[in-house]
Structure formats: C-alpha cells, structure tokens
Structure 1
Amino acid sequence: MPSRHAITTGCVLTITVLTLTAAPAVAQARTAEAQAVAAARKPPPGMIEALQRDLGLTREEAETRLRNEARMTPIEERLRGQLGSRFGGAWFAGSVAQTLVVATTSPADIALIVAAGARAEIVTRSLSDLQAVKKHIDQALPTRQETGSVRYIDTKINKVVVLSTAVTTTTNILENAGVDPVAVRVVSSDEQPRPLGDVVGGEAYYIGSASRCSVGFSVTRGAQKGFVSAGHCGKVGATTTGVNRAAQGVFEGSSFPGSDYAWVAVNGDWTPKPLVKNGSGGTVTVAGSRVAVEGASVCRSGSTTGWHCGTIQQRDTSVTYPQGTVSEVTRTTVCAEPGDSGGSFIAIDQAQGVTSGGSGDCTSGGVTYFQPIGEILATYGLTLVTDATTPPGTSTPPGTSTPPGTGTPPGTGTPPGTGTCTGYPQSVTGTLKSGQSVYQPNNRYYRSTVTGVHAGCLDANDGVDFDLYLQKWNGRNWSVVATADSPSPDEKISYTGTPGYYRYRVVSANGSSPYTLKYKAP
C-alpha cells in the first residue's frame, strides 16, 4: 500500500464559533471544463493577492493553481460517479494543485483513473465505509470536548481522525463501542471549540443590540428575498439590522447545534445581490454552487477580518462546541475571528458555505469550519441568487426577468452580415459593448423535447472578440454544455443534447459591435 501523510500531533488550538458580541454601532465542443478554466484565467479581483498572502505563493503560482483546480474539478466529478461504491475520496496534491489523486478500493479502476488524467491510489475502505465508521464514532463519543472535540474523515490516510485531549479515554470508549480500531486514528489535541460570536456576502449585520455576524449568500424563497448565515447567530424570530443599522429582516429558520445554519428574510428596502465582498473594495460574483475538491483553494469573506484564503482540508467533519456538536461541516486552513460567523466561503465564483467556527486568528493563522451551502438550500427550500438566477421554488427555467449584468438588450443596433450563418431557422440581433453579455433568445430560453443537435452561429463585426456559450437547465442551475471562445468575432457551436431547456449566452470579450445570433434546435 502506498505511503500515507502523517498527521501532526500535539496541536494547541482553540476552536470558536465566530459571533462577535458587543459590537460597535458602525462596523463535444468544449464543455463546462473549458468554462471553468476560462474563469480561473480571470479570477475575481483580490483573489490572486489573497492566495499569495495566505498560501505563500508567487502570483504565477497562484494563477497556475486556480487553472489546475478548474481543469481537474470536472474530472473528479466524473470519476466519483463512475467509481460509485468503490470511490475512496479525491484530493489535490502539490503546492499548485498540479495533481488530482483519486482513491478506489479496486485495482481494476487504475486504468480508468489514469486515462482521465488523475493519479490512482488503492485504499482499503471506500468513502461510504468511512462515513459509516464516522457515524458510529459520533454516536459512541459523549458530548464532552475532551473525548473528541473534532472528528473528520481524512481520505489521504483512509481513516477517521478524532482530535482529543484524552487519547486513552477516547480510545477505550471507541473500543468498547465496537468501532473498528484500524479505521480510526485518535490524535492528541488541545482544541476546545467555543462560540465566537444591497445584501452582499461578507457584510456585517446585527442581531439585537449586542451581537454582530456576517452575511453568507443572497437567497430567495418564492417571492421572499433574504440571505443565509450561521445558525448560532440568531434564533427564529430574532430581528436584524444591516451594516447601516437600518431595519433589515428576521430569522425565518435557524439550526444550532446539530447543524449551524440559518436564513434571514429581508424587507423591501434590501435587494439581494449575487456578490461577495473581496476585502479590497470590490466584489466577487457568485455564479453557482459547484462543490470544490479537497485540497482546492477557497476564500472567506467576513465583517471582521475581510477576505482570507486557504485550502479545503476535510469534509463531513463533526465539531463539538460547549453548546453541542455540529456535524457535516468542512474543515479548512482559512483563518477567521469573532464577527466573521455566517460569512461567505467561495471557490473562484462557486458558493461553498457559511462560516461556523474556527481556531486561532488571522495574525497567527488557524483552522475554520464552514457549513456547506447545499444542505442549507435544501433544508429551507431556498434558491441561491447567482448572476443568472432562476425564480426559486421551481424546476423550470426563468421567465422574462433579465439576469444582472447582461448588458444591452437584444434588438438594438444594426446587425452585421450573416457571413457563414446560413441554414439556421431562428435569428436574434443585438449590440454589446466590451465586457458585456446577454442571454438569448430575448433574455429567455427555449425548450427541446427530443434528443438531437443544438447549433448556434454568432456573427459580429471584424476586429472584436465575441464568444458564445450554450447553457442547459439542470433543475437547479444553468450549466454550460458547449463553448466557442476563439479570439475572433464569429463563433459556432454544435452540441448533441437530451430534452430540456436551453439558452445561449453571447459575450463581448473585447470590443463593441452589433451581432447576429442564428440557431436551431432539434
């Protein structure tokens, strides 16, 4: 069996939930892989600088790391599905995430993993096996911090790790409970978790007159608008005021301990935006909620310490605070401090979760945990507000509302000639300035009821760089299924797709011009 990474023992840490008390009053064609790589080439403002500072990288190394993560994340998703019950976990290795390691319980999978562009590792226990072991451990250990303040699955060593200040006592409890001793490692640690105390992720909000937390992500439920945050920040019915101390909203749902998430419904004076503050006076646009791979870069925004980055360490972690245990949080190397609770965790432009608690601070460094966004949305029936948001509570694509940042509406300007775009029955026209984009047809979508070829042809004036993307509705989000982004004004897409809802996104990467988009559906 390949050698494993050792876990450092004797850690001296203090984990805290990050609520601030007594706060001051002011405070086929190329697919989705290509789209992800393109996003990594142009990361949000401030992300490269934060990765340089927090991971000790050069600018070139930070840029390379993001490109590698974007390129290999879809590979991990495919292999996870193909391996099924044999999947043992996956993680990025190397300072610039140059290697994707995928674990399996079957040597017969090695060829498949290598052919996909990853490194194979054979393990004894599958991820589902480890999840069962961890569940057994969570049930066996008392809710006392000294017998296991933190429990998580470490896929790199193929074991469940328990951090404890009383190693012998904890080991005996687990043995008496019948936990497989080979599948668990008890590590000496002094971690003692305790609580710390437009809508834009990372901004401050206040609960009553004494506590401050941070906005996670903007959401909607039906016609109601709001945001998600940490559950320990407030109970159901608690009222909130915004960063400007104006009346803001009320906690409609809250869970803590057990989980650590909540959602706040805001009044009509607040408009949720698909944005997260990046700490340099700018914002990062939220495009979706794709789950990042272990080892991937991730950044956090909070109202106390602003914008900090690190890497994702382990998922499905259990953390015991004095108030009780919180399960299924994700462990990271990002720092945080009181008041950062509830703030946004984001990987490039993909929402990951909301800040729960952490150890250390942003001077000496530390460990921080976040509650994954997917569980929050599912629990409360919420829809994440993104740069192409769909009306919540529906499984069909959006209607007539225009997504933010879509540029000049279609039907303006004088379209260029059709060039080689012949034989396409549908046609739309418009004008875009440099950096703008628009969804077609007419900021809506079209429906295909059969499997077949979707073909699009874009024609703009010479001297500009226009790109074309085909997106399909997956029931929760729009995902890019085909891309044409050469450095020319004209683009073509041909994609064989199953029945569903589709739309095109026309983007001006450089230059202003009228355009004509012709397309046909099966």
Structure 2
Amino acid sequence: MIFKRFSPLAGTSRRARLLAVTSGLVTAVALAAPSAVAAPAPEAKATASQLADASSAVLEADVAGTAWYTDAKTGKIVVTADSTVSKAELAEVKSALADSKADLTVNRTAGKFTPLIAGGEAITTGGSRCSLGFNVTVGGVAHALTAGHCTNISASWSIGTRTGTSFPTNDYGIIRHSNPSAADGRVYLYNGTYRDITGAANASVGQSVQRSGSTTGLRGGSVTGLNATVNYGSSGIVYGMIQTNVCAEPGDSGGALFSGNTALGLTSGGSGNCSSGGTTFYQPVTEALSVYGATII
C-alpha cells in the first residue's frame, strides 16, 4: 500500500503508527484469505422427476438409432447413438436437453440398432429364426418365452402356437408348446452342457451376465444400464430395457439372458456383432412372467 505523503523526516511516533496500521492490514488480509479461496458448493444432482423429464425430452426428439437410460445415483442421462445417427441429429438430442438439470453423457457404438431376426433354424416360422428364451408354465401348461418382435411375425412356430405377443413398447411373446415333454427348464451353453435356471430376478448395473442364442451361442459381459429406452426407427420404440455390452447377432433374438441360475431377460436387439463387439438390449423377464402369470420351469 503506498502513502504518498510519507517521508523519512517523519517522527518516530508517526512511523510506529504507520507500522501498526500496515501490520493490521496484513493481519486482516491473512485472516480473510481462507474465505477468498473457499471452494464453491457442489451443484445438486438431478432429482427423479428431473431425470424423468430429461428422458421424455430425448423421446420427443425422436431420433432413430438412439438409446438412453437415467442414473439416479449420478444424476446423469446416458445416451448411446448408433452409426446411423448424424452429427445434426445428435445435436437435436443435445438441444432437447439444453434446459435439463441432468448431466448428459453421450456414447457412440458401431453398427445399427435393430431387432435381431434372421432366416434359419432354432425356433422358426417361415423364413425367420429366433431363439427360445426360457421355458415356463402357465396354469400348469408348458410354454416358451421369446422376443415379441419375433412372435409378431406369425402365430405358428416350429415349437407350437403363439398365445401372446407385445412389441413395440415391450418386447416379449409367449408360445404354447405343442410337445410339452420337450420343455426343458435349462439353458443350453453351446458346449454340450446346460445350466439349470431356478428362478428369475431383476438385473443390476455392473452385474456379470451371460446370453445364449442360436446364432452366436454363449456370450458374456456385464449390465451397463437399466430402464433403457431404445428407438429402433421404423420398427418402433421399446422401454424399460436392460442395456449390456454382451454381443449378439441376428437370430439371437428372444434368447436367454441370465446370471448363474437366475433368469434376467430376453434378447431384444442392438448393434455390432460378435467379431467387433457391440451394445445389446434385453426385455426384463420378470415383466413377461408377471404379465402372463408364468413360472420358470
């Protein structure tokens, strides 16, 4: 601090007073320093209703090839875009969330999000092939659960007759076995062995899982998100899906997602393949069991 009128000719008492004032200023500054550098208060995470609003905003943007879920623990909305989504379309999604309180994370994945259907064998109808998920009983009668986008194709299947289907919005269907004795409560592991399935449960993020399908056999990975919404474009939109990093290919649709001896889901669709990897989505099996009043065999 500069005192323009200070002079070496000043008396001792004035010098002392000046030193006292200067010392006091330094002390005051030193005491004030902590508040000057205090860290700002962290921003509050998005609430459940704010996350729901964010999810609705992405849905209204209606960009085919996108999938998303919200994470209450982090206050984030996580959007995954397949290779068909342009920069302009991704900008539309971001714009839809411009006023959102939710933090946005955007991931890219190779390939195109599609329901996984192929011509061939396994459970078949006409020239289409899907995979059986889990065998169940409904009122003591043997049935099989698979994907709804499969059972939408036809009422008549190689293993029996369709008795229920739901796609889009959901992705599950049920077929009554024409040969009840063939209904096995196990899942084939494609190595000559089977896994007993003793019950069903909801998946959890980070959970290690396996998937069995008629095209690519047994594959494994982990759950990356829950309650995901997937926009399959012209095929429709599905909600409440399990998102994973397990690969899948056409024909694996409807196949079993499980962890240990517990049924978790039915393969819906995704992108990529089992050479390069990809992102896949599954219909929670607990919902299908509840809707049809079914029990795992």
Deviations 1:307-346 (A, max 9, x none): 0100011000011113111111010011111110000000
Q: Which residue of 2 aligns with 1:232?
A: 149
Separation in structure 1 between the aligned mates of residue 215 and residue 292 of structure 2, nearest angstrom: 27
1:358 CA drift (Å): 1.7
Separation in structure 2 between the aligned mates of residue 301 and residue 123 of structure 1, nearest angstrom: 42
1:151 CA drift (Å): 1.2
1:294 matched to 2:294? The reply is no
Matched residue SS, 2:251:
coil
Separation in structure 2 between the aligned mates of residue 284 and residue 223 of structure 1, nearest angstrom: 22
Pairs within 5 Å for 1:240-389:
240-241=157-158, 248-322=159-233, 323-385=235-297
- Are the structure 2 counterparts of residues 257 and 282 from structure 1 closer, same or farther at C-alpha, using a change threshold of 3 Å? same
Match of 1:185 among 104, 113, 118: 104
Pairs within 5 Å for 1:36-55:
none
Matched residue SS, 1:319:
strand
Q: Which residue of 1 aligns with 2:45?
A: 124
Structure number, greater radius of gyration: 2
1:123 CA drift (Å): 7.1
- Are the structure 2 counterparts of residues 163 and 365 from structure 1 closer, same or farther at C-alpha, using a change threshold of 3 Å? closer
Separation in structure 1 between the aligned mates of residue 50 and residue 274 of structure 2, nearest angstrom: 32
Deviations 1:226-261 (A, max 9, x none): 1100011122861111xxxxxx21111111111111
1:194 matched to 2:114? The reply is yes
Match of 2:60 among 113, 136, 140: 140
TM-score by length of 2: 0.75
> Quick one: which amino acid aligns to residue 142 of structure 2?
K
Matched residue SS, 2:291:
helix
1:221 matched to 2:138? The reply is yes
Separation in structure 2 between the aligned mates of residue 216 and residue 257 of structure 1, nearest angstrom: 18
Instruction: Judge conservation of contact 1:134–1:152 (CA < 8 Å) in 2.
Output: no
Separation in structure 1 between the aligned mates of residue 218 and residue 107 of structure 2, nearest angstrom: 31
Matched residue SS, 1:273:
coil
Instruction: Judge conservation of contact 2:51–2:102 (CA < 8 Å) in 1.
Output: no
Instruction: Judge conservation of contact 1:236–1:253 (CA < 8 Å) in 2.
Output: no
Separation in structure 2 between the aligned mates of residue 233 and residue 123 of structure 1, nearest angstrom: 43
Match of 1:205 among 123, 146, 154: 123
Q: Which residue of 1 aligns with 2:26?
A: none
1:269 CA drift (Å): 4.8
1:219 CA drift (Å): 1.0
Q: Which residue of 1 aligns with 2:80?
A: 163
Separation in structure 2 between the aligned mates of residue 272 and residue 123 of structure 1, nearest angstrom: 52
1:152 CA drift (Å): 1.2
RMSD: 2.4
1:368 CA drift (Å): 1.1
Separation in structure 2 between the aligned mates of residue 140 and residue 184 of structure 1, nearest angstrom: 18
Instruction: Judge conservation of contact 1:301–1:308 (CA < 8 Å) in 2.
Output: yes
1:186 CA drift (Å): 5.7
Instruction: Judge conservation of contact 2:213–2:256 (CA < 8 Å) in 1.
Output: yes
Which protein has greater RCO, CA pairs closer than 8 Å, 6+ apart?
Answer: 2
> Quick one: which amino acid aligns to residue 145 of structure 1?
A
Separation in structure 1 between the aligned mates of residue 277 and residue 270 of structure 2, nearest angstrom: 10
- Are the structure 2 counterparts of residues 348 and 131 from structure 1 closer, same or farther at C-alpha, using a change threshold of 3 Å? farther
Separation in structure 1 between the aligned mates of residue 90 and residue 227 of structure 2, nearest angstrom: 22
Deviations 1:281-300 (A, max 9, x none): 10000111132321010000
- Are the structure 2 counterparts of residues 236 and 305 from structure 1 closer, same or farther at C-alpha, using a change threshold of 3 Å? closer
Identity %: 35
- Are the structure 2 counterparts of residues 130 and 205 from structure 1 closer, same or farther at C-alpha, using a change threshold of 3 Å? farther
1:163 CA drift (Å): 3.3
Q: Which residue of 2 aligns with 1:458?
A: none
TM-score by length of 1: 0.44
Structure 2's unaligned 5+ residue stretches are 1-42
Instruction: Judge conservation of contact 2:45–2:102 (CA < 8 Å) in 1.
Output: no
Separation in structure 1 between the aligned mates of residue 209 and residue 277 of structure 2, nearest angstrom: 15
Instruction: Judge conservation of contact 1:206–1:240 (CA < 8 Å) in 2.
Output: yes
Structure 1's unaligned 5+ residue stretches are 1-121, 198-202, 242-247, 386-522
> Quick one: which amino acid aligns to residue 219 of structure 2?
H
> Quick one: which amino acid aligns to residue 238 of structure 1?
A
- Are the structure 2 counterparts of residues 269 and 382 from structure 1 closer, same or farther at C-alpha, using a change threshold of 3 Å? closer
Separation in structure 1 between the aligned mates of residue 50 and residue 185 of structure 2, nearest angstrom: 36
Instruction: Judge conservation of contact 1:158–1:183 (CA < 8 Å) in 2.
Output: yes
